[in-house]
Each structure stands twice: as C-alpha cells, then as structure tokens.
Amino acid sequence: MTPELTIIGGGLAGTEAAWQAAEAGLQVRLYEMRPQRTTEAHLTDRLAELVCSNSLGSVIVDKAPGLLKAELRGLGSMILACATAAAVPAGSSLAVDRDEFAAQVTARISQHPRIELVREEVTAIPAGACIVASGPLTSPALTADIGRLTGQRYLYFYDAVSPIASYDSIDMTIAFRASRYENGEQEEGDYLNCPMTEAEYHTFVDALVSGEQITLREFEQEDAHFFEGCLPVEVMARRSRDALRFGPMRPVGLRDPRTGQRPYAVVQLRQDNLAGTLFNLVGFQTNLRWGEQRRVLRLIPGLAQAEFLRYGMMHRNTYINAPELLNPTLQYRGRADLFFAGQITGVEGYVGNAATGLLAGVNAARLLRGSQPLILPTTTMLGALCHYVTHAEAKGFQPMKANFGLLPAPESNIRNKRDRYQYYSQRALTALRRFARDRGLAYDRQAAEFTAEQSVRLAESADATIGESH
C-alpha cells in the first residue's frame, strides 16, 4: 500500500513539499483553502501566489540567498524550476512574472499523478502523517487547533505588499532605466529609477510621515510589532529623516542622465510581469491608507500621473515558537509524523519557505518509508537556517532569513569579506554534495555548480563596473 501524506497549505512551502513527497513515491493530499476561504493578502486562487515582492533575491552564490538557491537546484527544487521559467529581468536577482509563476506551479501540482489537490479549509490537524505549511495567514480555526496542540502562545509580525504602477503611466522623461554600477555595455538597465533632489526628498518625507495610516484591528494592536526586515517606509522615515536615502532610496551606483550626477535619493521600480507593463516600488511597503498612498507616491518625480494598480498594505503574519516545538528535521517534538514548514516556522523569505518545504517533504517521505529523517549539515545554508529556527533563544524568537551569519566560522581567520563568503559557499556546496551521496539523496551537481559558475561571472562583472566608477 502506498504511504499517504496530508499537506496543509498551497504556498511555496506546501507545494514544494507536495512535489518532493510525490516524487519520492508517496500519495499526497494537498489542501488549499482558497477560493473557498480567502485571505486579506491574496488576489487569486492559484497555488504559490506571491503577495509581496516578485523577487526571490540574488542568484550570486557568494551571497546567502544565491547559495540557498544553488543548494535547492542541486536538490531538485520544483519552485526554483518554475521561477526560472517565469523570470523577468532583474540584474543579478531572480524576479518573476508572478501570474506566470503561480500558473506554472498550479499546473505542475494539479497534473502530478500522485497529488490530489483539495480546495477546502482544514480546521484541525488530522491524524496520520502531515505537514503544516499553512503560512503566515493561517486561518483562525487552524491557528486555534495548533495552539491547543502546542500549548504555545502565537507570535506575530507584519509582512508587506509594495505598490504596483503601470509602465505607461510613468513619466520616462524623468525616470530612467539603469542598474546600479552598470558598465554601459547593456542597452538599458533592469530597473526604473525616479531621481530626487534634496528639496524633493524632504517634501516627500514630510508628506510620508504625516500621511494617515489605517487603523489596526484590536487583535493587531495587542500584538503589533514590526519585523525589522520589513518596516513600513513611514516608520523608517520617522526614525530618521535620512533613513530612506540610506535605505531603499539610496542613490549609490546611479547617475541621472539629465544631470550626469548622482541623485540625492532615488526610488527604484522593478519589473513585475513578463510583458513589462507592471512595475513595483522596491522596498516601499506601507501602512498608509490607499488614498494617502496615491497622494504621497505621486510626489515622487516621474510618478505624478502614475496609475497604481495595487496599493501597498501590511498584514499580520503568524508563526510558531519553533525553538520550543521543532527538531531540525522540522518534525514536531511531540509527534514524529507531524512536520511544519514555511513561514509558520519562523523562516523568512520566499526561497527559505520553499527550502523548508523541500526538506519537510523529503523527510516525511523518508519517515513513511522507514528511513531516518535528515538533519542537514549546519555548514549548508539550508541546514544552518533550520538549525537556527529550532535552536535560537525561544524568548523573543524572531523570524530569520538566510544569511552568512548563521554559518559556522571558518577554521582559520579570513579577513577579506569576499574571500570569506566564497569560502562559505564552496564549503556548503561540497558538504551538501557529500551528504547527499552518503545518504542516498538525489543531488544534481551540475545544476548546483552551474548556478555557482554563473554567479561568479555576475560578481566579477559587478566588481569591474564598481572599479570603473571609482
């Protein structure tokens, strides 16, 4: 009899887990509550819908997100395969047409012969092998049941959706195409840039900090605190008048073609779909009312007549106190056949969510087939990330993205940061390849090393252009 596995949640973690488990021979029942029950952030009923940025981060392997991608390609990630197929121009980052990406994931899952997609809300954790990948917007009923199971009080932070503007409404006599430190060999950069003078910047900041915000609901007011990696722009501006121009509006590596000079500040917009008709404001998560957003954002040079097809919003995300509850295999400590994956574990970032889904799917399949679930080496990015969220200080536990600070230090001191990051990446990919070989785990070395080789070329190109700019 074919082992059966239930997965709750059709986001990045749940679909990746379903794919991995089904490919390992399990019969998978994947539950997604949309469209029967919607959320305050999703717009469609497609699986793996991206509700924040359309960027999955850097592909340069000497950066933490790029290393995690290389590891996942080696392990056969379905999410990364779909993202690559739906990619849009974004320099050294992997950005996608979000509609095309979600359509590809939905098609792959729906057509897999060992995956049954059930469009129903799950209100309680079922008996039998199960992966909870219900995400940051877990329904109240399931949240209550998980609370009863764990006995833990939930923690909350706020995630963000950036505004999207139509390309045709952007004034390209002011805005210009460019990527930071581009060498001029490419015809045009991957980003649209709206430059600001000092006076324009201060006028914008004044309007931003005085803009009317939405009123938080009672339960949000009780638990509200912001995850530092996802602060609303108005919160950053209130902390320091220069916070934005040293943060998401930093102008370094850019020159306004109208003046030949570096702007005082700049707002970057990134392509959001394959057709190039939609662009999102990079790093512009906000809690302002929609009418206020229209007024304030149109103060940005080049966006005076902008048509905003989606406004920014902040929404409550839910995650468990993983250090108290989970093993690094992502198994719940009180029940071996129950796994958690994705943002509900306290892992941050699209690729981190997919990565924990991959590990949960692989480990569930191993458990049901009589093998030991895997604990990945902490010298790998995925292993280090899972180790962190299951071993961090439980008091005040906060979500975590992939970063080199999670990895063990080199055996000998490497002072140069670039050399140190290269060491981390090479060590990680070597450790993962050997681990997979020793455990009989499928691993595509060519896919992982192609990513690494490609990233070296990108990094060398960036170094060359930075050198030229100096």
Each residue's pLDDT tens digit, 164-218: 999 989 999 999 999 887 654 445 688 999 999 999 999 999 999 999 987 654 4
Using the 8-state DSSP alphabet, how is residue 155 labeled?
A: E
Give me 88's structure tokens.
Answer: 């849009």
Of all helices (H) and strands (E), which one includes residue 332?
strand 331-332
pLDDT at 268 exceeding the cut of 90: yes
pLDDT in tens, 86-135: 999 888 889 999 999 999 999 999 999 999 999 999 999 999 999 999 98
Q: What percent of the chain has pLDDT over 70?
A: 87
**Nearest CA to 109 among 22, 196, 235, 172?**
22
Parallel, antiparallel, or unpaired: how do β-strands 265-271 and 130-132 relate?
unpaired
Give me 231's structure tokens.
Answer: 């602060």
Parallel, antiparallel, or unpaired: how do β-strands 155-161 and 313-319 relate?
antiparallel
For the structural domain made of 160-316, what CATH number should be given?
Answer: 2.40.30.260
pLDDT at 379 exceeding the cut of 50: yes
Q: Supply the pLDDT for residue 272.
A: 85
Q: What are phi and psi of 186, to 5 degrees?
A: -85, 150
**Nearest CA to 66 among 438, 457, 378?**
457
Instruction: Using pLDDT thresholds of 50, 70 and 90, give the confidence band for residue 453.
Output: low
Matching residue, tokens 């920014």? 312
251 cis-preceded (ω within 30 degrees of 0)? no
Residues 156, 224: contact at Cβ < 8 Å? Answer: yes
Q: SS3 of 403, please?
A: coil
- Using CA atoms of 122, 124, 128, 129 in order, give the dihedral in degrees to the nearest 10: 60
Using the 8-state DSSP alphabet, how is residue 208 labeled?
A: H
Range with the largest mean pLDDT of 198-212, 281-295, 302-316, 450-464 = 198-212
Distance of CA 44 to the CA centre of its chain: 19
The CA distance from 54 to 96, in Å, is 6
Q: SS3 of 93, please?
A: strand
- What is the dihedral sign for C-alpha 18, 101, 316, 156? positive
pLDDT in tens, 363-377: 999 999 999 999 999
**Nearest CA to 270 among 104, 101, 91?**
91
- What is the dihedral sign for C-alpha 380, 401, 337, 324? positive
Q: Cβ contacts of residue 216 below 8 Å, gap of 6+?
A: 224
**Nearest CA to 237 among 208, 213, 265, 217?**
208
- What architecture is domain 4-154+320-464? 3-Layer(bba) Sandwich (3.50)
DSSP 254-266: --BTTTTB--SEE
The CA distance from 284 to 236, in Å, is 11
Q: Supply the pLDDT for residue 395.
A: 81
The CA distance from 286 to 328, in Å, is 34
Max intra-chain CA distance, the chain: 71
Q: Where are the chain's structural domains?
A: 4-154+320-464, 160-316
The CA distance from 176 to 319, in Å, is 40
pLDDT at 465 exceeding the cut of 90: no
- Using CA atoms of 376, 381, 386, 392 in order, give the dihedral in degrees to the nearest 10: 120
Instruction: Using pLDDT thresholds of 50, 70 and 90, give the confidence band for residue 451.
Output: low
Give me 224's structure tokens.
Answer: 């509200």
Residues 131, 8: contact at Cβ < 8 Å? Answer: yes
